[in-house]
Amino acid sequence: MTGSSWRAGCPVALGDLRVLTLTFWGFDGKAHRGTLIVHRTVAAQVTRVMGRLYSARFPIRRMTPVDSYGGDDFRSIETDNTSAFNCRAATGSTHWSEHAYGRAIDLDPLENPYVSGGKTSHSGSRRYLDRSLRRPGMIHAGDVVVRAFAAEGWGWGGLWSGTRDYQHFSLNAR
């Protein structure tokens, strides 16, 4: 992780991060193992959320630390990778993202795009811009995913006004 998703100057100490190995349902209908890196203070919450999603058989395409992508968030999203910690600025900002603290998760990012001005930067997400559609992996207000995170006090970027980040869940709802 050092030199890729974590480096000197990150707002969280390396020792405050935890590696979670979790079981999830894939789009192929089979159980898979994946890894999320989160802040130690939210590890139990994230484990419970992912347990609820597993029980509901919510499909997840991939769950690999962004280190596998050299810390490149765009590349991670292009493979529909669910991830958490990444020491980076918030999209379109110079301020730290909640991902840089290990307190945010992006879930099935192609099915749940970051949308600004009605557009997304990922061509694989364009077919998911119409949020009235119901397709596997898509997150909607009040569904099992939103409820699972809300039960732990996390907010969803799909409820933001203006720019929407349908993949994004964070402890402080930012």
Quick one: CA dihedral 172, 23, 112, 141, positive or negative? negative
Considering the domain boundaries, does residue 96 fall inside one? yes
Are 95 and 101 in contact by the 8 Å Cβ rule? The answer is: no
Considering the domain boundaries, does residue 60 fall inside one? yes
Give me Rg for the CA atoms of the chain.
15
- The confidence score (pLDDT) of residue 54 equals 99
The residue assigned the tokens 């909607």 is: 140
What's at 105, amino acid-wise? I
In angstroms, the first-to-last Cα distance of the chain is 24
Considering the domain boundaries, does residue 24 fall inside one? yes
Considering the domain boundaries, does residue 136 fall inside one? yes
Tell me the CATH number at 71: 3.30.1380
Domain extent at residue 88: 16-170
Are 46 and 102 in contact by the 8 Å Cβ rule? The answer is: no
Q: Which residues pair with 21 in a beta bridge?
A: 35
Which tokens go with 83?
């991830």
Count of domains observed in the chain: 1
- The confidence score (pLDDT) of residue 35 equals 99
- Average confidence (pLDDT) per 10 residues, the chain, 174 residues: 82 97 99 99 99 99 96 96 94 89 98 96 97 98 98 97 96 86
Q: Which residues pair with 34 in a beta bridge?
A: 22
Considering the domain boundaries, does residue 2 fall inside one? no
Considering the domain boundaries, does residue 26 fall inside one? yes
Distance CA 37, CA 17 (A): 7
Are 153 and 171 in contact by the 8 Å Cβ rule? The answer is: yes
Torsion of CA 91, 36, 157, 92, to 10 degrees: 0
The stretches of the chain forming alpha helices (DSSP H) are 43-55, 73-78, 144-150
Element (H, E) at 76: helix 73-78
